[in-house]
Amino acid sequence: MKMKAFFFTLSLNGFRYKIFVDQPCEIFELLEFLDYKKELIIIEHNGEIYNNFEAVNKYLKKNDTIEIITIVGGG
């Protein structure tokens, strides 16, 4: 049986990572894996800003750049 594998490099908050997955990966899946709460973050993906993850169904690809902004509340 032949198994597909996806290997790519991406920049996350200024750091370069090499990612290996067995299926295409959406941005939200990666952030969920990294334990980010979607209600508390805004992301910039390749220069575009997103704050509504229901509208983002983008798959990660080679040399993507992601910046994560975490929203902090308090009084």
Assess whether pLDDT exceeds 80 at residue 53.
no
- Closest to 70 (Cα-Cα) out of 28, 37, 41: 41
Burial class of residue 43 (count of CB atoms within 10 Å of its CB; 0-12, 13-18, 19+): buried
CATH 3.10.20.30 applies to domain 24-75:
yes
Residue of higher predicted confidence among 41 and 72: 41
1: confidence class by pLDDT, cuts 50, 70, 90: low
> What predicted TM-score, i.e. pTM, was given to this entire model?
0.77
Domain boundaries, the chain: 24-75
55: confidence class by pLDDT, cuts 50, 70, 90: low
Beta strand ranges found along the chain (DSSP E) = 6-12, 15-21, 41-45, 48-50, 64-70
For the residues 44-64, what does the mean pLDDT come to? 82
Average of per-residue pLDDT values in the chain: 84
- Closest to 37 (Cα-Cα) out of 70, 73, 63: 70
Distance CA 25, CA 40 (A): 21
